[in-house]
Structure 1
């Protein structure tokens, strides 16, 4: 049997209907019928029991179906893998995200993996105190980061995702019982200091001055997100965070206070322009398509 003949037989065995098989494969019902008759003549016995009301596999047809289906799928998977390798959409893509922010992009990840079954996603955690380090060192292919990013060597694709900005404080902080605060209130706070974060990125969560120009004190220096949680819960500092953090880290020693005049945090996918690959382009396309409005 040729591959097309095997495909027709297997599809009839699954559909048990010649017209549905023809529609599924994009061929005529006559072609389906002729192919099955040809196979039966070659084998020397009926593969299907056909009546005016139903089509069923004969015992011999069932035996042939069980023998062929695994090998056929393995062959087709091998062809698909070779094609994916040839066009660069096989392999591992290393994606960096910040803790709970990965929940924002599940639809992107699902679409990418559905389109490229021979690709694999490897996840790495980005530390807010040094958001660009893993990307610039080449340890990440793509990063999901907040804007602005002003690095000329990076390609930036903004997404429609935004987050409210809150102030994370200890449970006994004077602001802990407040319903809301404003950016000016940060002048009475001490905020954590990042490790290697560009000042313009730090401004989104922990600005250096209030709107009136008062300096905002820097305190505990942190290198990881959990160091931030510990510094804040112990009362040594406060920290600007996204609203998602409040949902994912409901520690009894922490409180999350909305900052009503803080601008929304905007998100983007980012990669090194010089290291762009077909796999990265495929991911970027999936991201763009997943973000299109539906309906």
Structure 2
């Protein structure tokens, strides 16, 4: 199956409509129909159920092929984009934002990017954990390293760079401070910090869920404006906060204890940028994420 045929199949699988797929790909509808029919003949089975004139549906064979091809197609496009950018010898300035130690954990990616594109100036800035989206939306950053899911239609998410475990930060005098670990259900007994920023609900839910697994509400308390405010509020015992597992190493405080959350799923981190930004440097940075070394979990 040629690359264009894969693109046609995946577009129809997403649109579930031959006409809309043709419009997206700027080809005629007969060209779409012909390509799908040829694929079905080669495979020996139907990929789409065409019994509904308004919309087609994937057959079990079609669903399997879609799931298998999506990752392959994405990886292939990334490889081709990387090659195109290297060949073009791109240059310019790219501004990246990250939070605390997370920027250190992608050092291998940044080194690879600088090696591949020596004429690009990479400016690396700190962003506020409580308000990570605003500088990206304002254009102060080209790319931000964010935790997932972001869940905002104006933000495009790139490849996952690494994952982190989750710890609960609390006052060193808190009754839970001496525990070997806590659970998400324990969150229902605690009061967490709050904020006024434009952070999306899915992002907030990742670290600070609104309900425990059994459905108990999780209380919100003092409003903070940045990570230093969080640490001060945590240290005086007013509230607690969940944080990435690297926090104990990089933010040790005598009045703050960090306890692992043993049943919290790993936090995924990924590059993100404005959906309408066509800057090729952004895609060059995303292409520097090596699938063989990405998606690793920090042990800190």
TM range (shorter): 0.5 to 0.7
Quote the Cα distance in structure 2 between the aligned partners of 1:215 and 1:289: 38
Give 2:248's match in structure 1, choosing from 246, 249, 254: 246
1:89 is displaced (CA, Å) by 2.4
1:137-190 CA deviation, whole Å, 9 max, x = no partner?
A: 111101111100111222212315111111000100111100011111111111
Query: What are structure 2's unaligned runs of at least 5 residues?
Result: 1-84, 296-300
Equivalent residue, structure 1, for 2:151: 150
RMSD of aligned Cα (Å):
1.9
1:229 is displaced (CA, Å) by 0.9
1:17-38 CA deviation, whole Å, 9 max, x = no partner?
A: xxxxxxxxxxxxxxxxxxxxxx
CA contact 2:171–2:240 (8 Å) conserved in 1: yes
Equivalent residue, structure 1, for 2:11: none
Structure 1 length normalisation: TM-score?
A: 0.67
1:276 is displaced (CA, Å) by 2.4
What does residue range 110-259 of structure 1 map to in structure 2 within 5 Å?
Answer: 110-196=111-197, 197-259=199-261
Report the secondary structure of 1:275's partner residue. coil
Quote the Cα distance in structure 2 between the aligned partners of 1:172 and 1:287: 41
Equivalent residue, structure 2, for 1:278: 280
Report the secondary structure of 2:207's partner residue. coil
Report the secondary structure of 2:180's partner residue. coil
1:211-246 CA deviation, whole Å, 9 max, x = no partner?
A: 111111111111111111111011111000011111
1:193 is displaced (CA, Å) by 0.6
Structure 2 length normalisation: TM-score?
A: 0.66
- The 4+ residue runs of structure 1 with deviation greater than 4 A are none
1:114-151 CA deviation, whole Å, 9 max, x = no partner?
A: 11111111122121211211111111101111100111
Quote the Cα distance in structure 2 between the aligned partners of 1:210 and 1:228: 22
Quote the Cα distance in structure 1 between the aligned partners of 2:283 and 2:276: 13
Quote the Cα distance in structure 1 between the aligned partners of 2:266 and 2:152: 21
Quote the Cα distance in structure 1 between the aligned partners of 2:140 and 2:167: 30
Q: How many residues align?
A: 209
Structure having the higher Rg: 1
Query: What are structure 1's unaligned runs of at least 5 residues?
Result: 1-83
CA contact 1:96–1:144 (8 Å) conserved in 2: yes
CA contact 1:162–1:264 (8 Å) conserved in 2: yes
1:273 is displaced (CA, Å) by 2.2
